[in-house]
Each structure stands twice: as structure tokens, then as C-alpha cells.
Amino acid sequence: MRWSEASDSSKSAFHRKKITVVGAGHVGATAAFLAAQKELANIVMIDVMDGVPQGKALDMFESSPIQGFDALVHGTQDYAETADSDLVIITAGIARKPGMSRDDLLNINVKIVSEVTRSIVKYSPNCIILVVTNPLDAMVYTALKVSGFPKQRVIGMAGVLDSARMRAFIAQELQVSIENVAACVLGGHGDTMVPVPRYSTVAGIPITELMGAERVALICERTAKGGAEIVELLKTGSAFYAPGASVVQMAEAIIRDKKRILPCAAYLEGEYGVDGYYMGVPCKLGRDGVEAIIEMNLSDGEAAALHQSMLAVKELVKKVDAFGHF
């Protein structure tokens, strides 16, 4: 039996999109593997650690016959190999350690994200950027300012993760399928995030009608401290399965132009009374990035909590601006 190669023209007619994941640590590698499994695009992982992205990429590729995906996975230290990416996921940065707040990460990670963003812009000037690095609200702001991209194309991953944690806790509390649970979390990604119970539902029923106020309050508190809880348990690292899955859900909405309504860190210019900062709000995600921001009617208490969250983000942004990297 002989194999007859297709003509060059028919080969070039096939085109798979390209996603670059910056950082081949736990979050980046998880995101790369999940994106490959979904066949969203061919994946390039880039990391400063020699051999790490190459080794992990090869391991993922060798799993493809078992997992049944045809997406290619490639590791590199050279940004030239990320050229013409449709979407770039930034996970690079140091991880939070026990006793370390997200604010403590700022001084190191703002420099890392600035350098990464400049390289991204050089080789993929038309891409959409999804930022995962913490402290999230400051890092996505950094990427926006350094890149010079339109605000729709620089988005932070926070709300999907925070909402997922809240959904998990609600399902666990009520002993119901996770598929029936929706949750709403607004604001900054940190201790001042704003879970909104009356917009969080089980099969369309607000959780405030299904459990007492004390249980609702405990779930909201656990949601806000969800990342810290995992850090304390791991002792030498931070969450990566849920963050990786969360950013891939956003990536899928963009790459496949699904127009999904997902909670994202979006740059606000007057929405929710916030101007000039990234905050977690419901967004419509499609091929152009953030294609719409959905404004919900908030109670006085919810609006006040969101304002407090904005003030915390504002303090972070002041420090970022003081570095003068852009």
C-alpha cells in the first residue's frame, strides 16, 4: 500500500487557529492541555525555563491518540514561534504562597506581565489577550496599558473562576447537580469581590429562597476566600485546575464566537458607576473579545459593596501607575 500526499494547495486550505499560553506552570499547562483536548486551536506554550514547555508539550502531544485530539502542542522559549496568535493567555508570574496576599505579588508580577505583553504585541499585534496572573485586576490593567490594544481585546479571568467556586459550594450545600446552579460574582478578584446571592440560582430559583441567610453568608465568605483556602491546603502552591478550566471556557467563547455571557474582568468606562478600572462584570464574549457589558440592577447594599471593591482595585492601580512602565 502506498500513501499519496495531497497537493500543497489542499494542505494550505486547512487552517487551525493558534493560541499561545505564556507560562508553562500548573495553570498554564492545565489551560494548554484543556484547550488542546477541546481542539480550540494549535497550542504554543512559552516559558523562561529551558525544556519545561518543550517537555510538557511533548507529553500532551503524546496523549493525543488516547484523548482523541488532533490539535498540535508545541513548547518554546522563543516568542517568534508565537507569531500570529489569535489569542494569548498570560499565566506567567510567581504564585501566591501561604500568608501572601494578592497585593504582595504586585511588585514582581507587574514587571513580568509588562515584559510579556511587549513581546506579545511585537509578534501578534492583532490577538486578544486573556490575563490570569495575580493580582488580576492590576495585571490586566498593566497588559492594557503596555499593549495599547483596544479595551475589548484585553480581558481578565476572574469572574468565571469566582462564580465556579460559588456554584460548587451551592451545589454541595443543597445536594443538587452542578448543572442546575448559576452564580453571580462581581467586583475585583480578591477579598473584596461581591457575590450576589439574589442573582445566584438553582434551576432559576434564587438561593435566598432555598437556604437561610446564615448559610448564604457562609457560602459568600467561602467564595471570596476560595483561592486562599486552596493555598493554605497546598502550602507550596496555589489553585490551577479551576483557573485553567475557567480561562479555557473564556477562550472557547472567543475562538468559536459563541457570544457567551460570562463574568469577566472588563475595563469599565462608566458602567456600574466605575470609570477607568477593570472590574468583574457579566460580558458577552465572541470573536472580537468583550462585545458587550451587561449592566444589572443592583440594590443599594450591592452597589455599596461594589464601590468598596472598586476602591481596593484603585489602590492597586495607583501602585502600577507609579512604576511608570508605560
Burial of 177 (0-12, 13-18, 19+ CB in 10 A): exposed
For domain 14-156, is the CATH number 3.40.50.720? yes
As a whole number of angstroms, the distance between CA 71 and CA 63 comes to 11
Spans of all domains in the chain: 14-156, 159-323
Fold of 159-323: L-2-Hydroxyisocaproate Dehydrogenase; Chain A, domain 2 (3.90.110)
pLDDT at 6 over 60: no
Q: Which of 15, 26, 74, 189 is catalytic?
A: 189
As a whole number of angstroms, the distance between CA 111 and CA 143 comes to 11
Estimate to the nearest angstrom the gap between the alpha carbon of 231 and the chain centroid: 18
Which pLDDT belongs to residue 98? 66
| pLDDT-based confidence at residue 96 (cuts at 50, 70, 90) | low
pLDDT at 277 over 60: yes
pTM over 0.85: yes
| pLDDT-based confidence at residue 270 (cuts at 50, 70, 90) | very high
Q: What is the pLDDT of residues 186-204, one digit of tens each?
A: 999 988 999 999 999 999 9
Active site residue 189: yes
Instruction: Please tell me whether residue 181 adopts helix, strand or coil conformation.
Output: strand
Pairing of strands 194-195, 73-76: unpaired
Instruction: Please tell me whether residue 46 adopts helix, strand or coil conformation.
Output: strand
